[in-house]
Amino acid sequence: MNDPIDFRPGASPDPSGKTPTELASLRQLTLIIYALYALSWLAGVTAIIAVVINYVKREDTAGTIYESHFRWQIRTFWWGLFWFVLGALTMVFMVGFAIFFVATVWVIYRLVKGFLYWNERKPLPL
């Protein structure tokens, strides 16, 4: 990622070799996926749609800043699902409520941080 950018006419401005149109499309798709994850608080099925899109389009993001966003989104989905299931299973012991609360704060933090990095056109640290 620290390679110099070739500014010669006809050269791709992105080290991944993607055209500006392809990068703009990936940028828009990344935002849509963040929105789907956020909407999952109202309709949980949107998170499933988002993670499917993540996996289907993951290869297209290779070498771009959006690769880190896709990895971030996928990890947020799976770890969030794990913690919410664990919270549901431990609800009987009253520990589940605390797990739900912490998991909710963690998922919101991950979505906000991801969106802020997306807005600044920065890759996420992994």
pLDDT in tens, 36-95: 999 999 998 999 999 999 999 999 999 999 999 999 999 999 999 999 999 999 999 889
Query: Which range among 6-15, 17-26, 34-43, 96-105 shows the weakest confidence by mean pLDDT?
Result: 6-15
Give CA–CA dist 118/124, Å, rounded.
8
Distances (CA, A) of 41 to 4, 10, 35, 46, 66: 41, 44, 11, 9, 23
What are the tokens at 99? 């797990």
pTM: 0.84
Q: With contact defined as beta carbons under 8 Å apart, do 73 and 37 qualify?
A: yes
The pLDDT score that the predictor gives to residue 70 is: 97
Sequence ranges of the domains in the chain: 20-120
